Amino acid sequence: MPLSHPIRFGANYVPPAGWFHGWLDFSPDSVRRDLDDLAGLGLDHVRVFPIWPWIQPNRALIRQRGIDDLLQVIDIAAESGLSVAVDLLQGHLSSFDFLPSWVLTWHERSLFTDPEVRDGIAAYADRVARAVGERDNVFAVTLGNEVNNLYPANPTTPEASTRWAAELIDVVRAAAPHLLCLHSLYDASWYDPGHPFRPADNVDLGDLTTVHSWVFNGVSAVDGPLGPATVTHADYLVELAAATSPDPARPVWLQEVGAPRPDVPQADAAEFTRRTLDAVTANPALWGVTWWCSHDVDRSLADFPAREYDLGLFTVDHRAKPAARALASAAEAHRRSRPPAARRPALLCEVDLRAEPERRAEVAPGGAFHTEWVRLRQAGPLAIVTRSRAADSGYLAARGIDAVLTET
């Protein structure tokens, strides 16, 4: 059944003062100013990223001071009227990996398969989830940010990856049963046929499906910064997720989307934002949108990929950028309950991503199926349906699908 609640709009919080290294010199006043920026746009939530090894520097040591700093960020968010989603394992952020020394060098062992490491992570997840679960404005815990980016440095198999995530979800649910618990993967899980995190992990594990839409994955090369393939990529991922879930009512959270240079030049960022949001907010499966990211990275910091410096809605000196105004307009337009979703056609997909993950390349950007979906999508909202569900009238009705189209 299409969702009826208003679409949630928020931002992934990247502190402009020192980036995530700011956790080491925690400043409540800086956090307050940053979050007031976001509240001023009419956003309703932030996703925050405590750094795992700074809270758990030893497998048997979890620092209460680090948890207290996280709780203070959550409390400051409440002052600004923002609810909070907390990510646990960082893990991977903007090309840098943050792993504790007890999984590196002399102690090198895979965080996905080593029993002692998994026990240590479970203790961390339990402690942090219990702490944040006591705050009324926390609504979700994500296991980590794109944890599949930590492969292949941490070897795993599809079966081990699924068990790892399922075990941690059980830990978080036991610690904070009233919170949403989520699994975050970047899009190799959808498009890379050999990737050890599978599409089914996205839609079976956790309470919502999350997708991360980045057009530097090859989409922008199809038709440029404002072409239909580029501005509908977020909607395409939401649709792949909806089609892959056995539950036709499972919501999809667009947990990351942004306007990366040079794929989206600065002059096109606002229009890219508007068109992307216009497309994806028409999707009845969409739960919410969380923009990457809140603030630019200070160029005094070294070694980031060039695109990472300018992804913010705000500059490091707190000036709102054109994409911020476009996001604010979308949030205002969708603040009230969404209207009933119009019925729409679906394009038949011959690849069942649940059963045939080895065929993932066939739905990747630029392939025949994606190209046809983009062509047809220009006429209006377009679902995706697999052959196994194409004749299931109850399923089609639940997803608001009134016709099934085939590739020409």
Residues 325-367: pLDDT tens digits?
999 999 999 887 777 888 999 999 999 999 999 999 999 999 9
What is the rounded CA–CA span in Å between residue 182 and residue 6? 20
Percentage of residues of the chain with pLDDT beyond 70: 100
Average pLDDT over every residue of 392-402: 97
**What pLDDT score was predicted for residue 1?**
57
**What pLDDT score was predicted for residue 340?**
82
Average pLDDT over every residue of 54-60: 98
**What pLDDT score was predicted for residue 407?**
83
**386-407 burial: b if 16+ Cβ within 10 Å, else e:** beebeeeeebbeebbbeebeee
In this structure, what token pair is assigned to residue 57? 């520097």
What is the rounded CA–CA span in Å between residue 174 and residue 48? 21
Average pLDDT over every residue of 60-65: 98
**What pLDDT score was predicted for residue 300?**
97
Judge contact between 363 and 36, C-beta under 8 A. no
User: Could you report the per-residue pLDDT of 76-111, keeping only the tens digit for each?
Assistant: 999 999 999 999 999 999 999 999 999 999 999 999
Indicate the pTM of the whole model.
0.98
User: Could you report the per-residue pLDDT of 177-198, keeping only the tens digit for each?
Assistant: 999 999 999 999 999 999 999 9
In this structure, what token pair is assigned to residue 216? 């530097």
**What pLDDT score was predicted for residue 301?**
98
Characterise 91 by phi-psi region: left (phi > 0), alpha (psi -120 to 50), beta (else).
left
Among candidate residues 197, 190, 192, the one with its CA nearest the CA of residue 212: 190
Collapsing DSSP states into helix, strand and coil, what is residue 385?
strand
What is the rounded CA–CA span in Å between residue 312 and residue 298? 11
Helix ranges (H only) for 176-299 are 188-191, 199-204, 220-223, 228-231, 233-244, 269-280
In this structure, what token pair is assigned to residue 17? 């003062």
Query: Domains of the chain (ranges plus CATH)?
Result: 8-333 (3.20.20.80), 344-405 (no CATH)
